[in-house]
Structure 1
Amino acid sequence: MKLNRYYIGLLASISLLTSCAQPSKYIDRGNYIAKIVPNKQESSDCVKYLVMHYTALDDDKSFKVLTAGKVSSHYLIPTHPMKIDEKPVIYSLVDEQQIAWHAGVSQWGDATSLNRCSIGIEIVNLGYRDNGKFRYWYPYTADQIVTISAVMKDIIQRHDIEPQNVLGHSDIAPQRKVDPGPLFPWERLAKQGIGAWPDEQSVNFYLAERDPSEPVDIANFQKLLSEYGYQTPNSGVLDNKTQKVVKAFQMHFRVTNANGIPDAQSEAILKALIQKYKT
């Protein structure tokens, strides 16, 4: 067993927090271990969606906030998960069959209030900082990325979650949220069979030799976003709300230029996704 001072202290704190309820236990799920932190919530209706978040807090504060009762998630992945028998340990804060309050006001396709039918995973990450001109995004650690892959793959397989329903918080609440941010490894995960990703051949077909930065029709782009699942204005105008949705889409599928401006490359990616997952 590999332990460091930080996790010895954290586990001691967790023990104090939970000793009045019942002893914590560990569940081995193959490629990772879930440490159960007792917490009773309402029963969930179903599990159709997997939603990824970052905490925007450090490890200690993340755990305290997510166990205080106002907000919650099913799982919390630390900055550097401790290991037992070489397997990373994450915190199971809410049973998968119960509701965790992680999504808030949210929508994907026709589904609203996704708390009732989703599993939420919070990852300890500080999010970003602005210096007035630029936004610096904090990267995920290598340990986290390995753990994220194992946990997501396991949950998706057990609940038979469709690729297009593996989402970021910003996908389901683009007017309010930007997590898990542009540094979340969506493409890398998709190569492991986790989540949605467009086929390069289809993207090239829909790009049709246009300049990737070529402007596109706003009304049509809004329609395509809605068809894929995003809650999008139908104004035909690139207003602030539309830009936030476009940016959420780009942070997931086109991180090289996530500026909130629809262009030919973004349109080609969106059409390729619709062809692959919606037809």
Structure 2
Amino acid sequence: MTFIKTTEQDSNYNNLENMSINEVINAINKEDQTVPLAVEKALYQIEPLVAQVVHKLKSGGRLFYMGAGTSGRLGILDASECPPTFGVPQNLVIGIIAGGDLAIRKAVENAEDSTTQGWKDLEAYKISDKDVVIGIAASGTTPYVISALEKCNKQHIITGCITCNKNSPLSQTAQFPIEVIVGPEFLTGSSRMKAGTAQKLVLNMITTTTMIQLGKVKGNKMVDMQLSNDKLVNRAIKMIMNELNISESEATALLHKHKNVRNSINHGRGE
């Protein structure tokens, strides 16, 4: 079967430079509205990968994201938000980008073309078959990611991927591929747009669902979140007030003593 990059196909719009601001933003918005529908079509692929992540993390493993450029940055973003949101250790969900930390802010030339560096970057974390590695690449052709997943497969490490092209080399490499087919970008080839949005939606699903399954959520609240600023402290106080039906001062006292929403609620109930 011939592999065609729909992410590289010509935009459905032309002569963009002649459009008014209103025309541009309406066209982008129209395209963006198709992304959640594309994600919906991939739910049957997302579920089994999340099940693998949950199983491995419950067994003491870790989740790794790997990508280059926008895809790598999105993985790092999702990984970095897990500790403050769910109170998990920094090394439970790890984002790795081709070119290292410098590439988070600035493009590193040819970093994504290496067929050896991806595995080296994983080895630095003492990767093992307890872990899961998810490669992220809109194109599905990034050598840095594909070569790392190939090595993981040989080492009996569970692999998944998030891509926006059908039957890509990355999809054929990953044991649990996720393909969100968003079609041509408004700006031809600019996969930071619809493809990036699709990847972000899927990443949200993977970690949020996993953390719920790991018991890091109570009801619909982030009871294990880190209290790193006044906004989060105030949110925590309101959560305790509502859960225990107590005053603000009582909730504040409990939080001050126990430093955590879950512990405060449990102690407030005498548990």
**Larger RCO: 1 or 2 (CA < 8 Å, sep 6+):** 2
Q: Compare the two structures and name the one with the higher strand fraction.
A: 1
Q: Compare the two structures and name the one with the higher helix fraction.
A: 2
